[in-house]
Structure 1
């Protein structure tokens, strides 16, 4: 038919083959960008936004060494025996020496260790003429050689320093099934008739990684230490199991790499199966599948070419691109089938299909891309990158589905001599048209049920919390996850992390005033830390916490030698450091400078010297001026909610210290993994609100331009908003929380939902022009566009459902929720929206 001849048909036919050849060449070039496969890097530091604290931490790392990274090693006897026996402690000591000798740099990668075997070995060396564990016969012999005669239970209970060390050992590095009755009896009255050997099933090593290593080197070192300890376990009677934030990050990346190809393969398999059921021809499957594979190659290839760092989030890009891309392909091929059945040529049928669907498809792409690009406003770098990746994927899928697949049809028909065609699905469309009868007769019930579900979803949304943990990316059955669970069950302080307080001169100032105001500020912090939730304490009744800073260093030095402080006008008054002469000035920098010249043991837990402790806590020049201070606080982490409370309490304390030190021109920062996670949680919440708001605004703005009336625009977007509420309500019903992927769901629901809504509305508008009967127009819409929507939604749901097969919990949850997103969007567009359109037209 002449009127069906498209004006660009000759040009499209002429250039189809060159376009295909160029596209395949581009695909080939970009595919090379993916060899070797790009690595994934999923670290807390990558998720946290850049701020003044992170910038200060980087500067401190350059001048004082990086913040200490720790690895926890759980040690158990293979036969389940007593881990605290002398024989076991000696094996641990020998294995630790073996670990040091097995590292590439002979142990220089390790800055220190807190381990009971090394604490005891140090005590023997200090108190028994340089002896070591190999000379000890039993616990009775050990105690005789290390415990002073005048030290009993009463003396221990009144000594805050001993209590602090003792509680840390029993709570943090010995399992909570510790039995020490015999040991306490021996110390109390030297009762040698009772065996003083304590017993427990496991102990913990806390290894500090050399702070001079870069974050990348530190991570590699921790992985290497785990491998060495695993090898040592093979030849030992002990089992060593290692965990740290960097090890978890490494395992996340390795797990992501292993599951990445599998998920893409499964998603492509699902697409093939669904397309085969939908079109039943080779071309109906092969052409859109090839186009989508090209879109995937372009997306990941361009990201790799521009050296974008991949994270575990990018695993979700492929199923999303496949799901949305197949939606475009099915709509076009369904319209193409109709045009071909009208007798149009291949090129005219395809171009007319694009022309018929140009408006709904382009608007759907615009709103979807807007939803994803809204993540550029997120303070979290991986979410920004994820938004760009998804947007690039959607645009690539749209271009391949419209242009490349069309070229394939044209070239394919030319090569085959005009014999290729798509199977008809008209009978299915006729059956679907029967839905109109139900809608017409039960429209009141439809609206009532929709309203009830929406209201319940709103209430459900109120109970959903935001969570972020790298372990969300790991299979619960992985060894590192099982170890994490064991630690939580076995130790009172099972998840120790370091939080850092950084103090530096403000602006152009060179140094921090080291007089009485600094001492008072540090005293205030020392007094208030015991009141802060999560900070490791020596005991419930003690006022001391486990941290390293200039105040604890000076206090420990005064406890060891009260006369030392006389040269600096410093003295202990009870448990507080104060001035001997109130009228005389003090200079803490001079006192600390003196301690940097002391190479004796300053910490019986780690074996660190006084010099090492001061260097870790302060940067002091040759004139005794303090240019930087760092306070390292041991904190026991918990759930995200608990950690948020801990960080809030710490920030309140630090704000008070900051206000006090601001008078001397100093600025204070709080940093560390726990603080970064709290920042990520806040950023996730803000990102969700921003992306959802922008998606709604852009969608409504597009509809207003399209309809030029407020009411029709509101009618079309209403089911989209309802779908978003239903998705959130489903999350509440399933007990799911917001995580780094599911926060995208609201914006994704709007992006997908507006696509379906626009298709339904545009088709309804076209049909109503040829009929005065609103419900007849609905019936015709169902038989054509409705069927295409169901087919594309079914394919998209299956593609997203593949993610539920992932070993990664956060990806599984995302796959489930996005599948529900598509389901709710298409149901509301086909069931509720037509009712609203009819009511709007009639009124």
Structure 2
């Protein structure tokens, strides 16, 4: 079954027996195991095709962060939690004061009112009764709904509507500054209060398109609809999943073609692709059985599972082709390939899994879901690519064309490998290390500019010219109040939120915020009190202050909007409108509030952050910032420990891990230079890059050590490593890099960013293992001591 010349030097990878127990267990029961694989694939594949897209506002925010804890505690008292849509209805010619426009706006308001998931009590539009005007006259306060009670579309009623709007304080909020559009504001439920079902963002976004945008733009060519909000953004991302599947298909086809060019063997091409696709189906099936769906951020994980499967499958094909070229039959070739690869393969895959599971440190459920999905995928690959793949190949074997290709190109390729083996030469290795140190220095310098959070306006997950970002740009340019709202919650005892001390503290906070870069404006109960107090005193600006007389304060806030005070007067929010949600803007505003809260919170009033979509973004950025370094430290720690337990050498660990560390630094530097921030969509790439990259180093080092233990010099050992494993590593890195580089053309910006970053990490991890690892080995490894230690252990 085995050949003595192939057992030489194999003591590190096997038990004292020529055939390890695991090998005998698998290959002596081939038929039974393959039947079990078939049944499992049918069952899990059936479940895989039923997996559904899944998205949730709460799963995309760090629920354990103090800001979010505060927000969820007061969610029933706040209107600006961050989950809402704003629908701007624009008139192309003329202004909003026409009968036709107002009829269209009323129809749209009614349509939105009945959409499932809308919090109807919080719906706001010119046509809703909670949008009112107030003025002071000689007879006292007068007010009413913005839409006149006797509105009939006549010129007189439209003029009355104009006057009501001007007196409503809604210009710049619900009505554009140029009177060319108005907004329908719709807060959303996370779960339907009647059915208890979670909001289906994909379906909700589709309804907005079909029942609002398409319907009314077709009915009235003079109308343009602009829609923004978390639900619409997520809906557009889910819609883009179709393009992700399309690009993944291109990657599979390209990988298959390149694999055939590499192996010249139909079986050696189709079997690893088939095994990797089976792994994807198993992963998706298990996820569905565990109750998971695919959210917009974890939808790329199946491709990563496919990529990892191909990476290990190429090693199996390469090892079998070498053994088949020596004259072994398919079964023996498969057994020898398994014997040589199962320990480094399992080590690499376990390292991958732990690398992905470090994402569990990040307190955002979508990232944790991604970690679980990737971890399950790697666990599945251990079975499909280290068991299923060799078993199938043990029946089929490498074709004659594949064997001839190995034999025909052996001597020609040897010249190339001989040149590359000089990476381990005593004269070349120092130059490589010098280049690596220079690259590390440049990477550390440029990565200083790396930011946590979004660096652009709008939705950075989508292209700048996407419909969503164009809609967002329109609203920013035509409305005074931003869509990026930071809500500061001011807590008091029951019935104490209108006390003079509370309102004056809020007023001081607003003064500081309004003099903070990035803050557009702010609104609170203190503003209402000052405006009404002035109005009660004949509009005299000298009275534009918070009165010390509690009776006057109570009178001034009697008609305060519900969103600025809760029912038992124990909470009143300060709404802060930001220019954008860029990381720097959020950090600056949050720092001001935190400093103020620390200095001014007391037993009477307590300032707490934060609600609103900007508050959620700020909390998410803070969680990611704190978790990033912990995550990297853990992933490198676990990878180092596993490598040490396997190779029993600190020097071996350094040879494998140092190239990975250089790749991580350079990746962060490229992100900084390219204007890509660390956020929910991009942070996983760093961990995934380390997890996948460690495979290359483990395969290279395991072979290099094997040949060193046989007594070869370092350069000769590395030459043999390149002839066997090295060419498979180079092919894998290039193939996977070319596969993901096509993603840069995706309409989904975060997929394009991930494709760009993964392309770099696939290629550079491969380069690091081929170029830098042997240079490090020249200085770190001591082959004579390794051989002596191995002989003593026998």
Render the CA deviation track for 1:690-734: whole Å, top value 9, x for unaligned.
221112222332333344444443234322222223333343454
Work out the CA distance in 2 between the residues paired with 1:170 and 1:666.
30
Equivalences for residues 494-505 of structure 1 within 5 A: 495-504=482-491
Work out the CA distance in 1 between the residues paired with 2:663 and 2:314.
22
Equivalences for residues 559-578 of structure 1 within 5 A: 559-561=534-536, 574-578=543-547
More moved, 689-698 vs 359-368: 359-368
SS at match of 1:310: coil
Match of 1:134 in 2: 153
Match of 2:30 in 1: 16
Work out the CA distance in 2 between the residues paired with 1:373 and 1:780.
35
Out of 462, 472, 475, the position equivalent to 2:460 is 472
- Cα 1:12–1:359 shift into 2, 3 Å: closer
Give aligned pairs, total: 746
SS at match of 1:752: helix
Shift of 1:789: 1.1
Match of 1:299 in 2: 283
Work out the CA distance in 2 between the residues paired with 1:128 and 1:322.
59
Does 1:93 find its partner at 2:91?
no
Contact 2:440-2:665 at 8 Å conserved across structures: yes
Equivalences for residues 346-425 of structure 1 within 5 A: 346-412=330-396, 424-425=405-406
Contact 1:120-1:133 at 8 Å conserved across structures: no
Out of 85, 96, 109, the position equivalent to 2:120 is 109
Contact 2:463-2:747 at 8 Å conserved across structures: yes
SS at match of 2:300: helix
Equivalences for residues 245-324 of structure 1 within 5 A: 245-324=229-308
Equivalences for residues 381-780 of structure 1 within 5 A: 381-412=365-396, 424-426=405-407, 427=409, 429-436=413-420, 438-439=422-423, 440=425, 442-468=428-454, 471-488=459-476, 490-491=477-478, 493=480, 495-504=482-491, 512=496, 515-537=499-521, 545=522, 547-549=523-525, 551-561=526-536, 574-580=543-549, 595=558, 610=559, 613-620=560-567, 626-657=569-600, 659=601, 662-664=602-604, 668-780=608-720
Render the CA deviation track for 1:309-363: whole Å, top value 9, x for unaligned.
4321212212211111111111122112223333444333323322222332222
Contact 1:328-1:361 at 8 Å conserved across structures: yes
SS at match of 1:82: coil
Work out the CA distance in 2 between the residues paired with 1:211 and 1:737.
30
Render the CA deviation track for 1:200-251: whole Å, top value 9, x for unaligned.
7x43425244789859669677764553243122222532322222343343
TM-score by length of 1: 0.78
Q: Name the larger-Rg structure.
A: 1
Shift of 1:759: 2.0
Match of 2:62 in 1: 48
Match of 1:798 in 2: 738
Match of 1:28 in 2: 42
Work out the CA distance in 1 between the residues paired with 2:119 and 2:651.
71
Match of 2:10 in 1: none
- Cα 1:686–1:403 shift into 2, 3 Å: same
- Cα 1:212–1:51 shift into 2, 3 Å: closer
Render the CA deviation track for 1:802-825: whole Å, top value 9, x for unaligned.
433422111111112112112111
CA RMSD of aligned residues (A): 4.1
- Cα 1:344–1:207 shift into 2, 3 Å: same
Contact 1:447-1:832 at 8 Å conserved across structures: yes
Contact 1:66-1:213 at 8 Å conserved across structures: no
Q: Which runs of 5+ in 2 are unaligned?
A: 8-17, 136-142, 784-794
Contact 1:323-1:797 at 8 Å conserved across structures: no
Work out the CA distance in 1 between the residues paired with 2:91 and 2:394.
71
More moved, 742-751 vs 669-678: 742-751
SS at match of 1:766: helix
Contact 1:43-1:249 at 8 Å conserved across structures: no
- Cα 1:272–1:666 shift into 2, 3 Å: same
TM-score by length of 2: 0.82
- Cα 1:692–1:379 shift into 2, 3 Å: same
Work out the CA distance in 1 between the residues paired with 2:755 and 2:375.
19
More moved, 805-814 vs 449-458: 449-458
Render the CA deviation track for 1:535-571: whole Å, top value 9, x for unaligned.
444xxxxxxx4x243x3444444444469xxxxxxx9
Render the CA deviation track for 1:4-46: whole Å, top value 9, x for unaligned.
6635566434422221222222222222223444123164762
Out of 329, 346, 358, the position equivalent to 2:313 is 329
Out of 738, 741, 747, the position equivalent to 1:807 is 747
More moved, 220-229 vs 747-756: 220-229
Shift of 1:614: 4.9
Contact 1:30-1:302 at 8 Å conserved across structures: yes
